[in-house]
Amino acid sequence: MSTIALPRIIQGGMGIAVSDWRLAHAVSSLGQLGVVSGTAIDSVFVRRLQDGDPGGHVRRAMAAFPMPGVAEQLLKRWFRPEGRAPGEKYRELSMYKQVVSKLRQQTTMMAMFVEVWLAKEGHANPVGVNLLTKIQLPNLALLYGAMLAGVDYVLMGAGIPKEVPGALDAMAEHRAASMKLDVEGLGAAEAEVFSLDPQQYWDVPAPPLRRPMFLAIIASNSLGTMLARKASGRVDGFIVEGPTAGGHNAPPRGAATYNEIGEPVYGERDVVDFPKLAELGLPFWIAGGAGSPEGLEAALAAGAVGIQVGTLFAYCDESGLAESYKRSVLEHALKGDVTVYTDPNASPTGFPFKVVDWGGNVADFEKRKRICDLGYLRVAYKTEEGKVAYRCSAEPVDQYVKKGGAEAETAGRRCLCNALMSNIGLAQVREGGIEEPPLLTSGDDLLAIPAFLQGRTHYSARDVLDYLLGTARAD
């Protein structure tokens, strides 16, 4: 185990760049654990540079990247000092594949490095990074980039992160890491992998790295037990995330049933047995509707070290969510005019995804022309010729079907890649100057936020921590 003190509050990772470096910096500076999201951070990085990098933060961090020459190459390729012209489209990175160029991997490493470096700037407290296990292909470059910036914790769920601890062990010593690539249609005896060999990226001595703590995000005792016993390296603890949490949720166990508005129904089998989890001897935090002083108290009573909180942080001043959405959602929440719907179809991952409707402002995605140009949620499949190719159930339906996908799987699917970029004010511009629509996500607790807001529509990360830890001032 590490010698660093465990945090009581973890500010949950929130993609895409809702928990960006500013939020994580604020939380970690105050002595709790700030977590940056690494999801699609390479696209966030190139869009920030195309927007002129206001404040120079990205360039300041880039200058500290230890691989010589990479910052210069990427600045030349992406930086626009004067920003984009009004209505101008962003240039995109190439979409991830099983094998990509060295520069493409370095772009991902750099983007993750920048985010962690900025979150750690000017204080000595730990910072974490959150990645989705399911978005497999960029993950090794993201983890290596985060380690180059000295990340202290890696938190991963949305899939089974069994191979991540071993990859961290290897890459902390600059050894090659490989993981199994999930490919639909592969035979039982076949296997595909994706790899990263750090040695290929250095022509100067590589700096010494620390292996970060690894916390697995789980929703069941069985997954906790399996990871504690069978992961490829050390698991340092768990985040136990319930179905009320924001973002993606684990699907219910057993046969799927739905309530009258089509949300998945969770039952007894989805309840985690905390005393049994504690028998594994690892620290754990409780997430999902735990963001209140009472939630913290209950978590401690259940044997947890603390709580992981998302929704309250998502709307604070330091979060990456676009300012206009924060204000509008909080104003509607104060009037009791928000709903959170657990949509079983929206996410191309097939996992339930929580969608916020504030005053009927949720975008009509049926009007959006389908296009897949970010591609993070594409899955790999084996073609008839035996090659590995990629498809996403939110891409144009005819293309998906041509690639062997079932038409039924495209129903109700939303392009989360583009929508989540829009949420943070980095919307792609389409034909006729139309911007990609947003799709906001929050935990069910958004409905209870007025109790915390006390009439405010602005608050800081410090206000959230003061509230949770019971140090709020009487005024």
In the complex, which residues of this chain contact ligand FMN (CB under 6 A)?
A: 12-15, 18, 37, 39, 130, 132, 157-158, 217, 241, 244-247, 287-289, 291, 308-311, 314, 441-443, 445
Rounded-to-integer distance, Cα 371 and Cα 92, Å: 13
30 vs 321, beta carbon nearer ligand FMN? 321
CB of residue 251 vs ligand FMN: minimum separation in angstroms? 15
18 vs 228, beta carbon nearer ligand FMN? 18
Residue with tokens 């009007």: 367
DSSP letter for each residue of 45-109: HHHHHHTT-GGGHHHHHHTT-SSTTHHHHHHHHH--TT-PPTTPPPP-PPPP-SS--HHHHHHHH
CB of residue 22 vs ligand FMN: minimum separation in angstroms? 15
CB of residue 133 vs ligand FMN: minimum separation in angstroms? 9
| Max intra-chain CA distance, the chain | 69
CB of residue 233 vs ligand FMN: minimum separation in angstroms? 20
252 vs 288, beta carbon nearer ligand FMN? 288
What CA–CA distances, in Å, run from 308 to 1, 111, 420? 20, 25, 21
Burial of 454 (0-12, 13-18, 19+ CB in 10 A): exposed
Cβ proximity of 11 and 18 under 8 Å: no
Dihedral sign, Cα of residue 166, residue 96, residue 246, residue 425: positive
CB of residue 415 vs ligand FMN: minimum separation in angstroms? 16
Residue with tokens 């370095």: 106
149 vs 446, beta carbon nearer ligand FMN? 446
CB of residue 295 vs ligand FMN: minimum separation in angstroms? 9
50 vs 442, beta carbon nearer ligand FMN? 442
110 vs 290, beta carbon nearer ligand FMN? 290
DSSP letter for each residue of 5-43: PPPSEEE---TTTTS-HHHHHHHHHTTSBEEEE-TTHHH
The residue number whose beta carbon is nearest to ligand FMN equals: 310
CB of residue 270 vs ligand FMN: minimum separation in angstroms? 15
Instruction: Provide the token pair at 96.
Output: 């991830």
106 vs 441, beta carbon nearer ligand FMN? 441
